[in-house]
Amino acid sequence: MVREIMRDEAFLSQKAELATLEDLPVAQDLLDTLTAHKDGCVGMAANMIGVCKRIIVFDNDGTYMVMLNPEVIKKSGPYEAEEGCLSLTGIRKTKRWQSIKVQYQNEQFQTRFKTFTGWTAQIIQHEIDHCEGILI
């Protein structure tokens, strides 16, 4: 189901709770909502649709990927970036990492580790910041 985009900065600033098996429908709603906004959006976190859980979805080189309870466990190559967000107006500067290693759970709640670089790494960092209540 396509959901409305949350714009309440007080809500978006809350740290998300761990996702559980019962939250899998939220991941599907996130995918549906991201698909509906694909022309202007490359990733979303659950709090962007009003659910304060650690779930993100993003464009991983042309295929959408879901991560439950993602966490950056290694990072290298800091740089300055400018980003926009569906939940916020304007473009803002932020610090990102060129390469990140992420620990997360897939949709079967199996723990996985994967390294991402470049644009995909930047998208993931933005969405994980949402999970932490960090707004650009």
Catalytic residues: 127
Q: Which two tokens stand for residue 99?
A: 């390469």
CA–CA dist 125, 121 (Å, integer): 6
Contact in structure between 84 and 102 (CB atoms under 8 Å): no
Local structure of 136: helix, strand or coil: coil
Query: Reading across the β-sheet that carries 43-45, which strands appear in turn?
Result: 43-45, 55-60, 63-85, 88-105, 111-117
